[in-house]
Every structure is written in structure tokens, then in C-alpha cells.
Amino acid sequence: MSTTGTRPTPTSTRTRMKCLARVVGESMAPTYRSSDLLLTRPVGPAGVRARRGDVVVFRHGELRMIKRVVGLPGDLVELEAGRLFVNGDPVDGRSRVPGAYAQTWRVPRASYFMAGDNPAVSDDSRVWDEPFVPVETVETVVSRRLVGPRRPRGFNPRRPTAAAGRVA
């Protein structure tokens, strides 16, 4: 394939393709639940960039994980009484707890600080030995949820049932 003109090369076509990702686990609940199917867009030169608040898919060691970008390069992230603050602003809108112990991180250049939406079960930057995720390990940004968990088939108490013993 030619690399001249407006025709894309195979590499640039791949970087613009949308991808699918399936959620495993409850670390992003209630936003995304286990078995949700997500539509994602690649990051990079031809793709999009991750911004604060975006949910992204990235590599952490041997695992592919899905988390929310909380801290950008240069941000001061604080964990105080289980609540996250970025540059002094609360992530969840709640105020500080006076006298509470605070753990702080300064996000280095070309890195992110990640957090799950369900802190009770999330394995994220708050608990990792190396809390920062290198920018180059971020693969995709979540665009939207396509499919959620299926409802069980069968009896639904709100749905009218056929009369028992009726013969056609």
C-alpha cells in the first residue's frame, strides 16, 4: 500500500480503529460492572490523549487494567481519610476531614495517577508500590459502554404470565 497522498498506511489505520474491551471485576462499579462491553479509542499521535477524568485501558505489569485518570503530570494528589484530592480539590466533591492523616504524591512527567471508582475493592495507584502509570502504557480511552450484564431469562414477577391450565 502506498504511503503517499491521503490513503492511510496500515499502521495509521490501526491506530485510529476503535477497540472493544470487556470489564472484569468490580473496581469501576457503579460506572462499569463486570461483563460490561466497552467501546474504546486508541491513544497516541493519531488517536486521542487521556485527560483527567477519562477511563482508560492500560498495561500494569502483565495485566491490562481499566481505571480512571485522576492525576496528570505535575499534579499533587492527596489521599486523606479515604478521599482523593487533586491540587487541593476533592475528586468526589466532599470536604476534608480536619486532622486526618494525608498521604501525598507528586505525579512525575509522562505519568498518570489512576484510581478505580470503587475504592473498597480497587487495586490502583493508591496501594501500588510504584503508584504512577507511564503514559506510554495507556492503550485506549473508553468512549462508552455498549453492553451491560444480561438479565436472567425466565420468570419476571412484573410480567404477566399465561393462565395456567389453559389449552389452545
Catalytic residues: 27, 67
Nearby residues of 18 by Cβ (< 8 Å), 6 or more positions away: 39, 40, 41, 143
Burial class (CB in 10 A: 0-12, 13-18, 19+), 123: middle
